[in-house]
Amino acid sequence: MTDFQLWAPAANSVRLQAGDSTVPMHSTTGGWWEASADVAPGTDYGYLLDDSSQLLPDPCSRWQPHGVHEASRLYDDDAFAWTDHAWPGRELPGAVIYEMHIGTFSAGGTFEDALPHLDHLVDLGITHVEVLPVNAVNGIWNWGYDGVGWFAVHEPLGGPDGFKRFVDVCHERGLAVLLDVVYNHLGPSGNYLRRFGPYETTGRSTWGELINLEEDVVRRFIIDNALMWLRDYHVDGLRLDAVHALVDRRTPHLLAELSAEVEELAVQVGRSLPLIAESDLNDPIMIEPRAAGGHGMDAQWNDDVHHALHALLTGERQGYYCDFGSLAVLAKVCTAAFLHDGTYSSFRGAVHGRPVDREHTPGFRFVVCLQNHDQVGNRAAGDRLPELTSPGRLRIGAVLLLSLPFTPMLWMGEEWAASTRWPYFTSHPEPELAEIASSKRIEEFAQHGWDTDTMIDPQDPAAFTTAKLNWDERDDPEHADVLALYRRLVAFRAAEPDLRDADLTAVAVDYDEDREWLVLHRGSLRVVANLADTAQTIPVAEVSTTTSEICLATGEAAVASGGVELAAETAAIIRL
């Protein structure tokens, strides 16, 4: 017999339909319903509420083979034959993360199709792959943030067994797996949770109704989901999407409750299980200890570092880039993590953020990037950095990213300067949702000053198919040269303790805004960048023509007396 439990306080009666049988469920306390049925794994099932004849999928369904609107299927977690029993995990300090979207990472767009490319990541020196959301969404392809089946793996990607095999093979290759999860909103189609109970509440976030964090069962629903990925799928950590949209008035905060339970699970499984928060609040409360009133996250995304690098390299100043772009701004984020840490944000029209305790907060707790799915995909055309800056500045960006005291993250294809754009794409079957998706994007792009004429319709299949990486590009000389640089940089970072040193108080930056040069102090190393369009000698007092050496350079470079000679738009790493 299989036992079924369902939280449905909104229903007066509930029937379980499993296989060919329909069984009435019995009401218990707190809005819970129970029933048992003689069914085996692989059986389709669902729930009938009150007098409705519409079969609803299980809110905790582990398998939705027919899509989010159809019956659930019983899934046996114990049936998968794991081979990673000796997997020790990987710590976040010293990590290099690689963000990927399974559907566009390979031509086939499934977990299985991604496996042949894992050796490329190993050769590159990647330690952690971060996978965009894989939970069940309506339609065939999607970014993943429209999920409505939080406990199920999207069937077109390969379903639950496909994801387990992906994680298992990653561990075999020495790669840890981080999973992007979304708890701040539900997708627009296939959300039946409100039919069962108060999963949502009055008020709206950027993406729709607020998740009801006042309700104990909903909080448990979220925490159990997180634990499921870490325990049953052997995932090594979670990236929590847009936690600033979690409206929680209770103490402790949901994130603190989650971090406490994940910490206990990490002890049980004997390996690190980091939680990484995406937050636009610029508030170190995310990573401060629970004992000190923080949420106990292991790390958080830091958009200020991305904005500082992007605006400097491209010259863009529209939208949220308006306060960024100077060398002074880059110098501040290199040493203080946030630009806005209690300072005025022109884009927000208000004072924003709170300072980081540099003495007690290691830099590895901030995940930083040159590109990611948001910063590329939320552009009108989905254009990547190589289209927006020169080859020389692109290489300078790579050197700086992998020399900072933070945890670097690459966006798939970045390592060979992929030419494939990555726009927003959806495959909503409902015409009205397709129209909303397009009109909403146009409104967002107009706010950021982007030309909406370049936007591809998210519902156009080409938005998805043209976003797939072209792996053959790696053999083209211009792409191969960038790939070689990234390989050297990642390897050099791994070999040099000074580059991995996360002590923010040990970082210093010299710069000349007018002459467009910067020197980053990293222990015995100096990272020197000439962003000007002419060659120049950059003053570095500590270098010596007899004892200093150039460890890596993106163009012509030479040690001079009291300085470093660099060609236009060139960066170099010098050992004193």
Q: Which band of pLDDT confidence, cut at 50, 70 and 90, is reported for residue 449? A: low
Active site residue 241: yes
Kindly report the CA angle at 528 between 527 and 530, in degrees rounded to 5?
A: 150
In this predicted structure, the answer to whether residue 478 has a pLDDT above a threshold of 80 is yes
Arithmetic mean of pLDDT, 124-139: 97
Domain ranges of the chain: 97-495, 507-575
Peptide bond just before 252 cis, omega within 30 deg: yes
Task: Please give the average per-residue pLDDT across 362-385, as a whole number.
Answer: 96
Q: In the chain, pLDDT over 90 holds for what percent of residues?
A: 91
| 447 band by pLDDT with thresholds 50, 70 and 90 | low
Annotated binding residue at 181? no
Q: Average pLDDT in the 557-567 region?
A: 95
278 in catalytic set: yes
Q: Is 243 annotated as a binding residue?
A: yes
449 in a labelled binding site: no
> Domain 97-495, what architecture?
Alpha-Beta Barrel (3.20)
pLDDT of residue 556: 98
Residue of 130, 278, 283, 316 marked active site? 278
Q: What is the DSSP string of 247-305?
A: ---SSS-HHHHHHHHHHHHHHHHTS---EEE--SS--GGGTS-GGGTS---SEEE-HHH
pLDDT single digits (tens) 184-202? 999 989 999 999 999 999 8
Q: What is the pLDDT of residue 456?
A: 87
**Do the annotations mark residue 356 as ligand-binding?**
no
To the question of whether residue 307 is assigned a binding role by annotation, the answer is yes
Q: What is the pLDDT of residues 296-350, one digit of tens each?
A: 999 999 999 999 999 999 999 999 999 999 999 999 999 999 999 999 999 999 9
pLDDT of residue 434: 67
pLDDT at 451 over 70: no
- Is 575 annotated among the ligand-binding residues? no
- Annotated binding residue 323: no
pLDDT grade for 62, boundaries at 50, 70 and 90:
very high
- Name the residue among 102, 91, 97, 103 with its Cα closest to residue 124: 97
Would you call 498 helix, strand, or coil by DSSP?
helix
Q: Which of 44, 99, 241, 288 is catalytic?
A: 241
Mean pLDDT of the chain: 95
pLDDT over 90 (residue 444): no
Q: pTM of the full predicted structure?
A: 0.97
In percent, how much of the chain has pLDDT > 70? 97
Torsion over CA: 58, 63, 67, 70 (sign): negative
In CATH, 507-575 is 2.60.40: yes
